Amino acid sequence: MDKKVKNVYQFKITLKESNPPIWRRIQVPENYSFWDLHVAIQDAMGWYDCHLHEFRFKSPGENGKEVCIGIPFEDDYEKVQKGWNVKIITIFNLVDETVYLYDFGDGWKHTVKLEKILPSEPGTKYPVCIDGERACPPEDIGGIGGYYLLLEILSNTKHPQHKDMKEWLGRKLYPDSFNCIDVKFDDPKKRLKLAGLV
């Protein structure tokens, strides 16, 4: 971790409409950008970062205008700020919660709640995942509704789609399983270059 970073931001990320909740608790350096936070969320949740994303929240001013931070693209009708140019400290000094949307097709919505700001621990490499529950749903399953349908199909060997869905998944699924030790964080700067955004 950068020696200049004195504080870390602790966030709880909860996948909306998941029941029981699928969530992660992470700590990230205060100098992180929203792109860096995006990469940390992807890695902690278990997503593959192969779709668009945005952070959305209401401006704390009187107008209550929605602010979007993510990856701008040409046909956007909204003004989307570049996530790599906006530091989390500038926004989370004004609000304590945002919505993080991943994959505009499947529409995975997460609540990103700032729980606390803490002094960094000497010798700790940030970001770090300190808690969480339940496995991340597979990509491209059709959102939260598609995920619960998949679980229903997989639990019923007599379901007409059981064999096909098992083959499509290509692995065993343990929906109640999660261990912080398994979380590996990627370098957000490398990921930004790999995405061809800088």
75 pLDDT above the threshold of 70 = no
Residue for token pair 């000497």: 122
98 pLDDT above the threshold of 50 = yes
Residue 143, SS3 per DSSP:
helix
Give the pLDDT confidence score for residue 62 in this predicted structure: 62
CA distance 67 to 51: 20
Task: Write out pLDDT tens, residues 11-68.
Answer: 999 999 999 999 999 999 999 999 999 999 999 999 999 999 999 999 877 677 899 9
Mean pLDDT of 92-98: 94
CA distance 192 to 198: 7
The CATH class that applies to domain 7-134+178-194 reads: alpha beta
User: Where residue 1 falls among pLDDT bands split at 50, 70, 90?
Assistant: very low
* DSSP-assigned beta bridge partners for residue 9: 28, 117
Q: Cα–Cα–Cα angle for 150, 155, 159, nearest 5°?
A: 80
Q: For the chain, where do the domains classified as CATH 3.10.290.30 start and end?
A: 7-134+178-194
78 pLDDT above the threshold of 70 = no
Task: Write out pLDDT tens, residues 110-154.
Answer: 999 999 999 999 999 999 999 999 999 999 999 999 999 999 999
Mean pLDDT of 165-188: 95
